[in-house]
Structure 1
């Protein structure tokens, strides 16, 4: 028997002696060990020692636990048992005995180490260390972070290139320039002189860990220190935090509505490689009045919530002559209409939940990829399965502090790097700062602290109700000013907001929105079917200030001219009670563009569609109104393009953690298989090689039914996993064995052609 097999056997014996609760805890900490269900403890032990599983389990260990694992490796616990006293002695003055014992228990609970008074570790455990074995036990020498950064600023290009290569590959480099007597102007000698490299021998140098962390923009940590970083948060009143978060949410919702409207008016073509081009992103941002980085976040949120999608919009954009153009466009989906009609808190909840589960990193948009090209929004380059977990890691750490606590991104990154050293390369200060910025833009944070709705979102409670309480209550009134501006002192109720938006343009938005009324906006409301009487009633009913005469005159003046010239559907037709007005239109340059022809002094027809007739006449300075066959003014404003709601692309998901009931079932199956493997039994009767079980095996099962004797069967389940079970046969027939399984205390059904062997239990 090989040494590896002996180690696996000792680990299997130790696992067999563990209680069911301890095995369940192991499978909870390392769920990959239970997929597929291990047939025996030997199989479980072999899986527990496999390098990929060991490294994956070590991702959740903190600096103390990994240092204890390093101490066990130094004491050669891979090949022989090591006493706890030896570990305590090696880590004396660096960690308290209680901290060392707690770390040992963490390793034992994960089966990375096993034993009681003496401890052994699996052979692959040293490979899980994020630093070389023994590095944290060497005396701390070399420059600190500030000195490293100062030294890096003095380097020439060859020396910096050499350091960057070591930082992104192996930290050990072989070179002849490390030999004594090499000229001091060589890059390696420059770096050695500045302590940016460590001399190992005449042909080998090493990159110190802290230097590599600075070069990779990681939090600078010291594995020699076993004391967790301490944060000193800045305190804010939770009412102020929620107030700031609510203000950000109002801005977010307004910007999302404007983005949906912009894409509805002019869908954005997709890039050939997928995603949304920088030019289109800037175009949408210009229409909505938003910067490019803000737009990238908005489109990622809207796409993640399935409010915009990629496809063929209806109505479709005009194509170039010859029918060429993109195959797909980014445009709002039908779900956007439902979202737009929902209350503000519900709309926020849709966006916030989509962001929390988004398997993408929006903050990477606009950065340069490996080919030095800008990363496009909605492209696959920023798609990663780890994004939701990393996002929750940052927010959960912030949630550990008292409500209203603001902690800097640098401090959070340093704490995460200490708690999860193997993951520190992902939690750079830049990444944490970008995550906090996105959370602030969504109202999950306010003043840098976790808001009440954000905390509810993170814990899975009623976040929408919390946001509804934080948002200012909608008001049903406005303040009309003498300069023809309208002030909404808070968010308006939906019906009033729609009516005000139809007759006025937003001049500035915020906690109090300011609208401005002009001739064009009044005409827009009249085009939508409103009458002058209805507009007077709107302001007379909902204004808390007297309606200025200037507004009354403006509405009456526009209404007096509006609709004197009317267009209808022929290709389109024009009619006007005043022949002079129609004659003016027919003599204008626009008449030739629309191919207008007079049928009577008060009627003319056009070859162009009605919408085009109205648009060009308005651009020429006229004020036509559309009407239907009964003469009623109709609203011909475009509703915006929409794409069909597609089945969303499956998200990249991490393996699902098993439930307690599933883990309990795995433990029962494991115990049953282990018991079957160790139980004394007669000679195995195997099938004869045909599809059905051989006659001898069936006869043995029938004998066990008659004598009520237990049998051991080797069985291959539907997933191809081979297991052994001790069962009590109840019935054999119809190609199936029905047997009572003591492990599950239930009758199970086994397909006969999947049974590999049968033997009576002695």
Structure 2
């Protein structure tokens, strides 16, 4: 359509404003709640509100909230030119096609009226800007041809040959546009050599430009028959539900939560001793991702999610060095010492509010570069809202029931077809996959703790997860091959001891530890004695202790500490001079630069840690000795970096509540009355402000009769506004009154009042 005539715009605005004035206060409150942008700043009257309703950006935001069928109804209104003249519901139903009932059309029309995207009783009108917001070709239909009637289109369709009909059927699908080099030429029917040329010659294709043709709307409607808008979905899809049972879902989620915690602990341990570098562009390099994933024996995509969640939970951060690295934070030590349910809740809450899309990791940007974890290109401010929207659908299902990702994507696409953009369906799959890793979703269903996290917060979710986790075990199973099996989650104290005396060989629902010479030596270095180790295994194992393990512990303990190393830079002492002679005589110790300073003492210029490591490489088992003679544990301690300061919560203006919206509607009504009153008793300046005498008299009368007035007012910043006031007194050049919108008393200097009008009740 062309530009609307000015008179048409005025009439259209008047009809919308009149329709708004006929709405009840509750209906107007509902409108302002559904479209909050209409209330900021508060409109002076319904005429202003009507103008604001038609603003293109506001219409676009309102359309984001429409489901698929309601959006189709709006497209039908555009096709029927409801922005030029009202359209009755029968015509709307006919355009939507066979199978659409009048009742369903009425429901969608009512939804459009709730949002003021349409108005009227039996006949509906729409704002002209709706046409600009919707696709150029609503329902895939092109422009109508001027000289083609409905009956003429049907007759022409019947006369097409097979090739022409195939082309018309294709253009009558999702898009009426075709690209061709024949669009610029003119052909007679006798000259036409292909289907496109023949259709152009018959006037059954429209030329848009030199290389583009368009199928006329009448011909597409003839092809579609009783479904003018093609496939329309009146109701929400009903995907097959997956029934797993609430107990099974929660138990599975508990296992996933423990697995998540184990992997995050491994990540922190790996990076505290071997931190990866920060890329110059920020983030983590793909090479470092592969290295860490290989060391942890996890998928690269899974590691990317772990890194993103750990960063969001403030467990890792970059250093501020010239060559920055990613390190665990000081706060990670507090996290590691917390109970499992609290550690899980911290990670789950951080993911839920993460303004980034880990699902994009591994994709390529516009420069064909691979996107890595912690990259700035992963930032998406709307990601938390999208996650809650997706998980909210699963929360609607009964406990223990779930739906697969494709089914959820279909439902959410119907509910919000304009929401999410090109990544809409990917967002659903990514969110459900990540939520499953975090134990918020399990077996395609929402967990009990996940529901609490969504609506009650992290603390409530942690409490519920604690009830779902299996009871920690106080025992292990020692095997004949020197492996120790933990058949479940261990008590914190026992788990800490097992980390000291054994190495993890495999992890999962059951963790397998291995005890060997190195692990026993580490335990002895940490201060355990041979008897401590025997007592640990005897007291904690539900299976007999193999004799070979007892021999192993005793043999390592017998040799452990026979040599004592100190600093000279470093010294080596032993009560047996022969043993020191054996050390000096081995070729492997030549690089240690040892020399004897006493029969029982050797010294070296090497650091103590290097001396001990060199002796162990040569086959000896020394221990490090401190200045007080006690054993030192020389294993490298983990590095830490200060965590990020938590960002302040957003300080945006809160959405108005029902009472505030009610006050705004009251002000709208008052503005309408005052606009009407301007045609009667009121003071409006011809040039400048109203006369002081007339203003005083009108305000004094209003105060005495307890009537409201509409003031045109200029504040100290020179900003003009209108406000409805209940005058209390007038004196000293000031009006004392109560602002009816805020119910707050105020003082209004008379010299700043530009217009005054009574508001009739």
Quote how far apart the aligned CAs of 1:15 are: 2.3
Q: 1:463 aligns with which of 440, 461, 464?
A: 461
Whether the 8 Å contact between 1:684 and 1:759 is mirrored in structure 2 is: yes
Quote how far apart the aligned CAs of 1:697 are: 12
Q: Which residue of 2 aligns with 1:230?
A: 238
Quote how far apart the aligned CAs of 1:411 are: 2.5
Q: Which residue of 2 aligns with 1:149?
A: none
Structure 1 residue 540 corresponds to structure 2 residue 538: yes
Q: 1:388 aligns with which of 369, 381, 384?
A: 384
- Look up the SS of the partner of 1:567 in the other structure: strand
Hey, what's the Cα distance between the residues in 2 that align with 1:487 and 1:704? Answer: 92
Distance change >3 Å, CA 436–CA 207, structure 1 → 2: farther
Quote how far apart the aligned CAs of 1:2 are: 4.4
- Look up the SS of the partner of 1:486 in the other structure: strand
- Look up the SS of the partner of 1:309 in the other structure: strand
Q: Which residue of 2 aligns with 1:44?
A: 49
- Look up the SS of the partner of 2:28 in the other structure: helix
Structure 1 residue 74 corresponds to structure 2 residue 72: no
Quote how far apart the aligned CAs of 1:372 are: 1.7
Structure 1 residue 19 corresponds to structure 2 residue 28: no
Distance change >3 Å, CA 476–CA 676, structure 1 → 2: farther
Whether the 8 Å contact between 1:528 and 1:637 is mirrored in structure 2 is: no
Please identify, of 170-179 and 486-495, the stretch whose mean Cα deviation from structure 2 is larger.
170-179
Whether the 8 Å contact between 1:30 and 1:110 is mirrored in structure 2 is: yes
Hey, what's the Cα distance between the residues in 1 that align with 2:565 and 2:196? Answer: 81
Whether the 8 Å contact between 1:26 and 1:111 is mirrored in structure 2 is: yes
Whether the 8 Å contact between 2:712 and 2:723 is mirrored in structure 1 is: yes
Distance change >3 Å, CA 191–CA 260, structure 1 → 2: farther
Structure 1 residue 603 corresponds to structure 2 residue 601: yes
Quote how far apart the aligned CAs of 1:475 are: 0.8
- Look up the SS of the partner of 1:258 in the other structure: helix
CA deviations over 1:200-246 (Å, ceiling 9, x no partner): 446534699xxxxxxxxxxxx96434343331223223333223222
Distance change >3 Å, CA 302–CA 514, structure 1 → 2: same
Q: How does 1:581-730 map to 2 (within 5 A)?
A: 581-586=579-584, 596-648=594-646, 657-671=655-669, 673-680=671-678, 682-683=682-683, 711-715=709-713, 722-729=720-727
Q: 1:288 aligns with which of 293, 296, 304?
A: 296
Structure 1 residue 343 corresponds to structure 2 residue 339: yes
CA deviations over 1:60-102 (Å, ceiling 9, x no partner): 2112211221222233221222333443454463311221111
Q: How does 1:390-469 map to 2 (within 5 A)?
A: 390-423=386-419, 425-426=421-422, 429-460=425-456, 462-469=460-467
Whether the 8 Å contact between 1:359 and 1:384 is mirrored in structure 2 is: yes
CA deviations over 1:597-639 (Å, ceiling 9, x no partner): 5443333444444444444443443323233332222334333
Q: 2:507 aligns with which of 494, 506, 509?
A: 509
Hey, what's the Cα distance between the residues in 2 that align with 1:311 and 1:191? Answer: 65
Quote how far apart the aligned CAs of 1:503 are: 0.7
Whether the 8 Å contact between 2:664 and 2:741 is mirrored in structure 1 is: no
Quote how far apart the aligned CAs of 1:694 are: 12
Structure 1 residue 269 corresponds to structure 2 residue 277: yes
Distance change >3 Å, CA 43–CA 241, structure 1 → 2: same
Please identify, of 474-483 and 712-721, the stretch whose mean Cα deviation from structure 2 is larger.
712-721
Task: Give the aligned length.
Answer: 696
Quote how far apart the aligned CAs of 1:270 are: 1.0
- Look up the SS of the partner of 2:124 in the other structure: strand
CA deviations over 1:698-724 (Å, ceiling 9, x no partner): 989997999788654334679997531
Hey, what's the Cα distance between the residues in 2 that align with 1:191 and 1:617? Answer: 88
- Look up the SS of the partner of 2:712 in the other structure: strand
Please identify, of 90-99 and 507-516, the stretch whose mean Cα deviation from structure 2 is larger.
90-99
Q: 1:244 aligns with which of 233, 249, 252?
A: 252
Please identify, of 29-38 and 50-59, the stretch whose mean Cα deviation from structure 2 is larger.
29-38
Please identify, of 503-512 and 696-705, the stretch whose mean Cα deviation from structure 2 is larger.
696-705
Whether the 8 Å contact between 2:712 and 2:756 is mirrored in structure 1 is: no
* Higher RCO (CA-CA < 8 Å; seq separation 6+): 1
Q: 1:102 aligns with which of 92, 107, 122?
A: 107
- Look up the SS of the partner of 1:121 in the other structure: coil
Quote how far apart the aligned CAs of 1:365 are: 0.6
Distance change >3 Å, CA 539–CA 706, structure 1 → 2: same
Whether the 8 Å contact between 2:357 and 2:380 is mirrored in structure 1 is: yes
Q: TM-score, normalised by structure 2?
A: 0.81
Distance change >3 Å, CA 558–CA 111, structure 1 → 2: same
Q: How does 1:151-162 map to 2 (within 5 A)?
A: none
Whether the 8 Å contact between 2:205 and 2:215 is mirrored in structure 1 is: no
Structure 1 spans left out of the alignment, 5+ residues? 140-162, 183-188, 194-198, 209-220, 317-324
Hey, what's the Cα distance between the residues in 1 that align with 2:582 and 2:708? Answer: 105
Hey, what's the Cα distance between the residues in 2 that align with 1:207 and 1:413? Answer: 32
Distance change >3 Å, CA 339–CA 73, structure 1 → 2: same
Please identify, of 258-267 and 637-646, the stretch whose mean Cα deviation from structure 2 is larger.
637-646
Q: 1:559 aligns with which of 537, 541, 557?
A: 557
Structure 2 spans left out of the alignment, 5+ residues? 1-5, 145-149, 151-169, 188-193, 199-203, 217-228
Hey, what's the Cα distance between the residues in 2 that align with 1:286 and 1:59? Answer: 43
Whether the 8 Å contact between 1:40 and 1:674 is mirrored in structure 2 is: yes
CA RMSD of aligned residues (A): 4.1
Q: Which residue of 1 aligns with 2:221?
A: none
CA deviations over 1:464-517 (Å, ceiling 9, x no partner): 223222221111111111211111111001111011111111112121111110
Please identify, of 733-742 and 643-652, the stretch whose mean Cα deviation from structure 2 is larger.
733-742
Q: Which residue of 2 aligns with 1:153?
A: none
Whether the 8 Å contact between 1:130 and 1:421 is mirrored in structure 2 is: no
- Look up the SS of the partner of 2:125 in the other structure: strand
Hey, what's the Cα distance between the residues in 1 that align with 2:484 and 2:546? Answer: 11
Whether the 8 Å contact between 2:313 and 2:346 is mirrored in structure 1 is: yes
Whether the 8 Å contact between 1:417 and 1:424 is mirrored in structure 2 is: no
Hey, what's the Cα distance between the residues in 1 that align with 2:708 and 2:19? Answer: 28
- Look up the SS of the partner of 2:368 in the other structure: coil
Hey, what's the Cα distance between the residues in 2 that align with 1:404 and 1:731? Answer: 66
- Look up the SS of the partner of 1:740 in the other structure: strand
Q: Which residue of 1 aligns with 2:309?
A: 301
Q: Which residue of 2 aligns with 1:497?
A: 495
Structure 1 residue 576 corresponds to structure 2 residue 578: no
Hey, what's the Cα distance between the residues in 1 that align with 2:692 and 2:63? Answer: 51
Hey, what's the Cα distance between the residues in 1 that align with 2:281 and 2:195? Answer: 44
Hey, what's the Cα distance between the residues in 2 that align with 1:704 and 1:52? Answer: 44
Whether the 8 Å contact between 2:96 and 2:232 is mirrored in structure 1 is: no
Hey, what's the Cα distance between the residues in 2 that align with 1:627 and 1:697? Answer: 100
Quote how far apart the aligned CAs of 1:683 are: 3.3
Quote how far apart the aligned CAs of 1:541 are: 1.6
Whether the 8 Å contact between 1:265 and 1:640 is mirrored in structure 2 is: yes
Quote how far apart the aligned CAs of 1:16 are: 3.1
Q: Which residue of 1 aligns with 2:745?
A: 747
Quote how far apart the aligned CAs of 1:664 are: 4.0
Whether the 8 Å contact between 1:677 and 1:724 is mirrored in structure 2 is: no
CA deviations over 1:247-275 (Å, ceiling 9, x no partner): 22222111110001111112221111111
- Look up the SS of the partner of 2:260 in the other structure: helix
Hey, what's the Cα distance between the residues in 2 that align with 1:435 and 1:77? Answer: 39
Q: 1:253 aligns with which of 261, 270, 294?
A: 261
